A and B are shown apart, each in its own frame.
Chain A
């Protein structure tokens, strides 16, 4: 299950003292983080805890944001957003190929996410789950060393989300990119990731390695407690 150890020795992402602030409010307060190549990391936190800010910093999308610190990330980085963000005026295959060429690779990526035969469809003809699959295909085509995902399944219904979890995990095993998945869903984090980080007050409050053999419930309780959720209903 876990990636080979020689891959683990070379960090794909390296953050040292990463600080970001908006309008005088410090959102990230000196974050140190190493993500080994091939590791699947989930980043949990309350809304406003800075998880998206961290992801956008790693993606290089935080123009005009005040901050300091060191940041190393691989060359080939793909981002999956919460919305599929397909261009409505390009057919699905052309959306997948945005910014790259190689039609054959695009077709393969669509086949991998289960959208074979929908290459010529318009994005408006896809369901929410299909659109997010196309977005995954678009990120895969670039053969990323690092995949950043900002609550990619947040807008999907519960059943579609379960299927997407399986798909993402399967794609990760096959292509072995490092993954940084931002989510507010504790179950999603435990199901998908090998390592779960909890962000609080701009720092990493908890860094938990998930061992697949152990009960998920145990991790779930610990993570919920770290997020300040203790009262169980029922």
Chain B
């Protein structure tokens, strides 16, 4: 009896009587999927250079860029330029991060704070930050402080907006639970408000990190006397496209490394979410 059942089941499978539904999701991910595109692009670039199809003055070969990079690193000013740029981005980012989080907490946890802060920040957001550069140069001079200030503004806005939205969106049922469990205001903030707002905060953090590099690039290419952007600006004057490409590669590496670092921290801190997405 059982064998017949098994046999018919096997036949049914062979003739595909149970029709599978058409799959609408894109299916399983390719291994190292995110690298495929960039690697292909690099290969094309190298192939075109090797075949002599690219003007070396406009687009130098990949190996020329690498050689220039090594030369600038060992014999040139590249290490100091990188250090200068990193310091600017880091100070601006740190200030922006602190300001964004503190303002979001103040606006999210008290009605007075909300009334004072939220509208003001949104007003600030409506003004393109890079448009503030001339004014900031007048106020702070053309030294380091105005650059750090601009980067801080670019960073704090997305961090504030996302953290504040997450704070405001905390499930009311959890607030009720905290009341029932007799939590103090401090315990409520620490155990419910902050963990509940962390996912939103990380969205803001990643936007902020990207923003800090964006601000840096603009500032260094227009108003700098040192740093990576300055190096590239000088190279433009002397027609050194390989040096410009070295600068771009370094910026790219900065962006990629910092974004991955934030994502790593996010995965660690929000480990409770992994069970949901898997």
Of the candidates B183, B187, B275, the one having the most CB atoms from chain A within 10 angstroms of its own CB is B275
Asked if A99 contacts B182 (CB within 8 A), the reply is yes
Contact with B173, one of A81, A89, A99 (Cβ below 8 angstroms):
A81
Would you call A159 an interface residue if the criterion is a C-beta within 8 Å of the partner chain's C-beta atoms? no
> Per a CB cutoff under 8 Å, which of B180, B198, B270, B276 touches A61?
B180
Knowing A83-B173, A85-B174, A87-B195 are in contact, say whether A98-B183 is a contact too (CB < 8 A): yes
Asked whether A98 and B176 contact (CB < 8 A) given A87-B195, A89-B272, the answer is no
List, in ascending order, chain A residues with CB within 8 A of B48's CB: none
The answer, among B180, B181, B275, for a CB contact under 8 Å with A125, is B275
Q: Is the CB of A99 within 8 A of B174?
A: no
Question: In the complex, which residues 151-192 of chain A have their Cβ closer than 8 Å to any Cβ of chain B?
Answer: none
Does A209 sit at the interface, judged by CB under 8 A? no
B179 contacts chain A at the CB level, 8 A cutoff: yes
**Given contacts A87-B195, A125-B275, A78 and B174 within 8 Å (CB-CB):** no
Residues of A within 8 A of B198 (CB): 89
| CB of B196 within 8 Å of the partner chain | yes
Report A-chain residues with C-beta under 8 Å of the C-beta of B173. 81, 83, 85
Inter-chain contact B192/A124, CB cutoff 8 Å: no
The answer to whether A78 and B180 touch (CB under 8 A), given A83-B173, A88-B272, is yes
Say yes or no for B191: interface residue by CB 8 A criterion.
yes
Task: Tell me the residues in window 196-219 of chain B with beta carbons closer than 8 Å to chain A beta carbons.
Answer: 196, 198
Is the pair B181, A99 in contact by a Cβ cutoff of 8 Å?
Answer: yes
Within 8 A of B (CB), among A182-209: none
**Is there an interface contact between A61 and B275, defined as CB atoms closer than 8 Å?**
no
Set of chain A residues within 8 Å of B177, measured between Cβ atoms: 81, 85, 87, 98
Interface of B is mostly: helix
**Alpha-carbon distance between A148 and B1 when the two chains are bound, in angstroms:** 55
Is A109 an interface position by the 8 A CB rule? no
CB distance from B108 to the nearest CB of A (A): 17
Q: A122's contact among B183, B187, B191, B272, by CB below 8 Å, is which? A: B272
Nearest to A83 among chain B residues (CB) is: B173
For chain A, residues 94 to 145, give those with C-beta under 8 angstroms from any C-beta of chain B: 98-100, 122, 124-125, 138, 142
Distance in Å: Cβ of B258 to nearest Cβ of chain A: 25
Which residues from B are CB-within-8-Å of A15?
none
State in angstroms the CA–CA spacing of A36 and B191 once bound together.
35
How many residues on chain B are close to A (CB under 8 Å)? 21
* Cβ-neighbour of B180 out of A59, A90, A100 (below 8 A): A59
State the Cβ distance, B127 to closest chain A Cβ, in Å.
Answer: 36
Considering the chains assembled together, what is the distance between the CA atoms of A77 and B182 in angstroms?
10
Separation of A181 and B160 alpha carbons in the complex (Å): 43
Residue interface bits A62-95, CB-to-B below 8 A is 1, else 0: 0000000000000001110101010111100000
B195 touches A89 (CB 8 A): yes
Residues in A with CB closer than 8 Å to B276 are 88, 124
Whether B196 lies near A89 (C-beta < 8 A) is yes
In whole angstroms, what is the CA distance A142 to B183 when docked? 13
Q: Are A99 and B275 in contact (CB under 8 A)?
A: no
Which chain B residue lies CB-closest to A88? B272
List the A side residues contacting B196 at CB < 8 Å: 89
* Chain A residue at smallest Cβ distance from B269: A89
Question: Is the CB–CB distance between B192 and A87 below 8 Å?
Answer: yes
* Cross-chain pairs A/B with CB under 8 angstroms, 9 sampled: A61-B179, A85-B174, A87-B192, A89-B272, A98-B177, A99-B178, A122-B272, A124-B275, A125-B275
Q: Which residues of A contact B (CB under 8 A)?
A: 59-61, 77-79, 81, 83, 85, 87-90, 98-100, 122, 124-125, 138, 142
Query: CB within 8 Å of A: which residues of B?
Result: 173-174, 176-183, 187, 191-192, 195-196, 198, 270, 272-273, 275-276
Task: In the A-B complex, list the 7 residue pairs whose CB atoms are closest, starting with the nearest.
Answer: A99-B181, A89-B195, A79-B180, A124-B275, A89-B272, A99-B183, A98-B181
Instruction: Apart from A90-B272, A122-B272, list 9 A-B contacts with CB within 8 A.
Output: A60-B179, A61-B180, A88-B272, A89-B195, A89-B196, A98-B178, A99-B178, A122-B275, A142-B181
